[in-house]
Amino acid sequence: MTQSDIEAKRRKRALSAARRLEGEDVQATVPKLAIIISCYNYAAYIEQAIQSVIGQGRDDCELVVVDDCSTDDSWEIIQSTGVTAYRIANGGQRAACVHGLDLTSAPFVLFLDADDELIPTSLEIIITRLDAGVAKLQFPLIRIDHTGRVTGGAVPSLEVFRHSHDLAERVLRTGVYATPPTSGNVFRRDLCEFLRDVDYDRAVDGVILFAAPFLGDVVSLSEPLGLYRIHDRNDSGQGRPLDPASLTRDLRRFVDRMEHLRRILTTYGLENDLVRAEDSYFYLERNFYLTIADKRRTSFASLIKLLLKLWQDYYPVKSKVTITVFLLLTAALSNRRARRGLAYRLESGNRSTIGLLRAIL
């Protein structure tokens, strides 16, 4: 399939989004963006998340909160805010977000985690950069702790761009590209429909992130537009000690996601161009981490394979050198020190060479 064929399919998928945008100059209140907040036992944070949206006073945005059958005071707090809200049987983040999709109509969707927040004016910035050709818009998030205190810079560091082909090529070769946590992404509605086919994960920030470049443009902003709360209950595991079970889950989820993405790519005749999950740098790196976390020694052959794949990846040369040194050092250290270094590497806060040395010594 040629690039022009792929672009034709992208335009066809974007047509429905374009139709939704028709007539907005006539009626300013037609919703342009839906914000869906899914909540499970985040009574400590949910009100801040809601207020960060309604405080922006946008009458062209839909806000729906879906409580995933919380067992704390979340539902009572949600009701007290007066927002449109629904309480459903517990089914995980993805099920709650899909429920929110069915209750909204805007052509673009932002899934805001209940422990995160949007910063003032962010919705205005986002909406001015959306059009029918955009499949996904992404922006960094400023890291905060459970009290709301800023703990580090924005994650991830993003460049300003709008394109799809380069990212599509990167996904085909590696299975991934740099993308923010859930709350730092806006998706075109037709892309979100793939969530209905996800039976291998309860989270929402999965296959739609990496299918996006095949359905339209990805718009990337460098300006942080939200707050990302790091605490000991993050589903990603950030903020918690090194956990073999979490690494095993990440590997299994990555393999399942890649197979789902391969099925999606059959539409474009690209399913055979997608790298095997087990041959990707992400898989090899996480498998290396799992070996250390399980208190096993990594083999020389697997280390060499990992390093070769690293140098074939899209990281800048400086990053490749730094990662290479870290991997070699981790493989040479005693397991106890290697696990310390790995735990430091996987922390979400600011890291440094001195900090790493302190962690392993």
**pLDDT tens for the 361 residues of the chain, in order:** 555 555 555 555 544 554 445 444 434 568 999 999 999 999 999 999 999 999 999 999 999 999 999 999 999 999 999 999 999 999 999 999 999 999 999 999 999 999 999 999 999 999 999 999 999 999 999 999 999 999 988 999 999 999 999 999 999 999 999 999 999 999 999 999 999 999 999 899 899 999 999 999 999 999 999 999 998 765 554 445 678 999 999 999 999 999 999 999 999 999 999 999 999 999 999 999 999 999 999 999 999 999 999 999 999 999 999 999 999 999 999 999 999 988 888 876 667 778 877 778 7
How many distinct structural domains can be found in the chain? 2
Co-location of 19 and 146 in the same domain: yes
Residue 209 lies in a domain: yes
Beta carbons of 116 and 227 less than 8 angstroms apart: yes
Domain boundary among 203, 229, 255: 229
Contacts of 12 (CB under 8 A, 6+ apart): none
- Considering the domain boundaries, does residue 114 fall inside one? yes
Domain of residue 55, CATH code = 3.90.550.10
Q: What is the model's pLDDT at position 90?
A: 96
Query: Strand pairing of 117-118 and 226-229?
Result: antiparallel
Does a structural domain hold residue 238?
Answer: no
- Whether residue 46 is contained in a domain is answered as yes
Please give the radius of gyration of the chain, using alpha carbons only, rounded to the nearest integer.
Answer: 21
Domain assignment present for residue 237? The answer is no
Looking at the structure, do residues 201 and 275 belong to the same domain, yes or no?
A: no
Residues forming a β-bridge with 163: 218
Same domain? For 293 and 161 the reply is: no
Strands (E), the chain: 33-39, 61-67, 84-87, 108-113, 117-118, 134-138, 141-144, 150-155, 161-163, 185-188, 217-220, 226-229
Where a domain ends, among 229, 259, 286? 229
Domain identity same for 251 and 222: no
249 and 197 both lie in a single domain: no
The domain of 251 spans 244-360
- Return the pLDDT at 30: 84
pLDDT at residue 24, rounded to an integer: 43
Q: Are residues 159 and 275 in the same domain?
A: no
Does 81 lie in the same domain as 11? yes
* Share above pLDDT 70 across residues of the chain, in percent, rounded to a whole number: 88
147 and 194 in a single domain? The answer is: yes
Asked if residue 252 and residue 352 are part of one domain, the reply reads yes
Does 205 lie in the same domain as 323? Answer: no
What digits encode the pLDDT tens for the residues 143-199?
A: 999 999 999 889 999 999 999 999 999 999 999 999 999 999 999 999 999 999 999
CB 138 within 8 A of CB 154: no
207 and 270 belong to one structural domain: no
**Are 330 and 303 in a shared domain?**
yes
Which residues are registered as beta bridge partners of 117? 227
